Amino acid sequence: ELLLQLQSLTGTVSKFSSEHRLWEIKYDDGDGEEMDWDDLQKALKLHDSKNKGKKRSVTEEESADEKKKGSAKKKRASPPTQDVKPAALASPTALAGTAGTDEAGKKTSPPTPSSGTFRVVRTTYPSDGSGSYEEEYVVGEYATLEEANKAAWREMERNPQFEDWGEEDYAGKSPPYSSADGPFEAIADEDEFIDIYVVDIAKKEEEEKKMLDAVMKSKPPAKKKSDPSKRKFGKTNRQIVVDANLFARNPCRIPGGTTRLPSDYPGYNKGKGSFAFLIQRLSDRNYAMRAMCLEGHGAEYNTFKKANAYYVCVVWYPPSNLDNHKNDATIVDGCHLDLIDPSDGKTYLTGRNLDSVIVNASEPVECLFLNASQSNSGNCISADDIATAISKCKDSLQCLALNECKLDASMISAIASCSKLRGVIIDSCELWGKGDDRPTDAGLSEVLRSCSDLRWCFVKSSIFGTDCWNALADEGACPNLELLWVDAPLNTQDRIHTARGDHDTIRTALEHRANKLKLCMINPDEKNKSRYVVGGGKGTDRLNGTARAEW
């Protein structure tokens, strides 16, 4: 009955996670990229792991033991129980959060370990051998190998998958312990297997340091040369290349970041579905904008679809990227994996560190790329910090990218004051402020009217509406505009994916720019097809969206 109620109100329930009371619901009017279901569960379990090692009461311990004795065999692995005597509680990824202070300098090695010498780890993975995911939990850290072995044994005893056979089969044996070693009748119906093992922390970190050194010295993948005289725009079928070492090879120059192994970030083994590749795609888009606006190149992209995702993902092909500009003093690049905590996605970017880079730049700042990760709590950079940064380089700034930043009226005003601005990206920013401090359509339209040399305009925000389209309908506004990408659909009770603003004005604005626009994308659909094609025929004008389906 509850399922039917949810379907009638919102969408279709696809999956349910009892552990976190988490529903996956398919909406007919969803926009943006959906997080992969496995990645979402992994993120929640990483969050759970931060509470590992908190001492439980005697009552809780006894209750857990009684529950184990009386429980039936379970199909899936339960969350790991926590040992009450670890020498240290933090995992390497949790420790990474200490680098996020203003005073922290850039680091180029994994965080220093805690006082424990040995770490007990529990890993779950699919029993079918598909390797589609692997989840790791730190049980605790211990001063001696003997203590760690005892903790691993207790973890094995407590786990239902080892019930009835584990203690007998592993009697007198040191870890590792694997549920896959159980008798056929005990493991035949299991969806997951569990490994419990002990890690020598010093040895592991020495191995990771050597691996990181090798990654930082790795060579970039071969890149196709681009001739500005042969400009190409739009969709291409070029190969999509995941460069897992891109950011480790080119450490961030903004203080506060930490260079880590690519494998430290979620979904490393998923290639195009990895978190690191998401940041690579954002970075490549920034440098594609720079190449078009400052060097006269075209702008090409490709798309792919992640498993279980509704919308396709976009990949850009910059003629030169972070590899080519890692020491370019005219670029302040805050869209970097070094600035993200792999345990929770929080950014290390702060107002003070950003200001120090701009104030101390050896050359005028021409490009400012920021990813503030506002969808993750605990971030320290404010809208005022970003507005101040923009204002300090307004006389030289030519390319600006804002991804997941807090966006208020002062930021919009600061952007409009950049007289040399040629490219702007505003993607998935959180509208911030109240009253006059809140960003508006009218405020954003001033950017279009004031920045007369604007060539690249990419806006994924609901504030792009009537006033912005009225500005574009004025032939005197940004006459050099070549790339216009607007993703701002209006969804109401009756219709979805409707373009904001007067549709005749939108048509006029776009058709008058037909000779200049090289790439135009308006409210892309789930296949990344524009809902309006300049000069297109029948069926290419979908500005009015579609009627909302009745449940």
Using one digit for the tens of pLDDT, what is the confidence trace for 48-83?
554 444 333 333 333 444 444 333 333 333 344 344
Q: Which of 153, 156, 155, 161 shows the shortest CA–CA distance to 185?
A: 161
Q: What is the DSSP letter of 197?
A: E
What is the per-residue pLDDT for 337?
Answer: 97
- pLDDT over 60 (residue 91): no
What is the per-residue pLDDT for 56?
Answer: 35
> How far is residue 390's CA from residue 394's CA, in Å, rounded to a whole number?
6
* Interval 513-523 mean pLDDT: 97
What is the pLDDT confidence band of residue 41, given thresholds at 50, 70 and 90?
A: low
**Alpha helices by DSSP H, 74-172:** 92-95, 145-158, 166-169
Task: List the beta strands (DSSP E) in 383-499.
Answer: 399-403, 406-407, 423-427, 430-431, 456-460, 483-486, 489-490, 495-496, 498-499
Q: How many CB atoms lie within 10 A of CB 486?
A: 27
- pLDDT over 70 (residue 110): no
* Interval 448-468 mean pLDDT: 98
Give the rounded percent of residues in the chain with a pLDDT score beyond 90.
64
What is the pLDDT confidence band of residue 32, given thresholds at 50, 70 and 90?
A: very low
What is the pLDDT confidence band of residue 217, given thresholds at 50, 70 and 90?
A: confident
Q: Which of 266, 345, 265 shows the shortest CA–CA distance to 97?
A: 345
Between 57 and 455, residue with greater pLDDT: 455
> How far is residue 160's CA from residue 168's CA, in Å, rounded to a whole number?
14
Task: List the beta strands (DSSP E) in 309-398.
Answer: 313-316, 331-334, 367-371
> How far is residue 351's CA from residue 370's CA, in Å, rounded to a whole number?
11
> Looking at 31-40, 50-59, 278-287, 389-398, which range is the least confident one?
50-59
Q: Report the amino acid identity of residue 443.
A: G
With tokens 């089969």, the residue in question is: 169
- pLDDT over 50 (residue 292): yes
> How far is residue 315's CA from residue 303's CA, in Å, rounded to a whole number?
6
Q: Rounded to the nearest 5 degrees, what angle is found at the Cα of 383, between the Cα atoms of 377 and 384?
A: 130
- Asked if residue 12 lies in contact with residue 26, where contact means CB atoms within 8 angstroms, the answer is yes
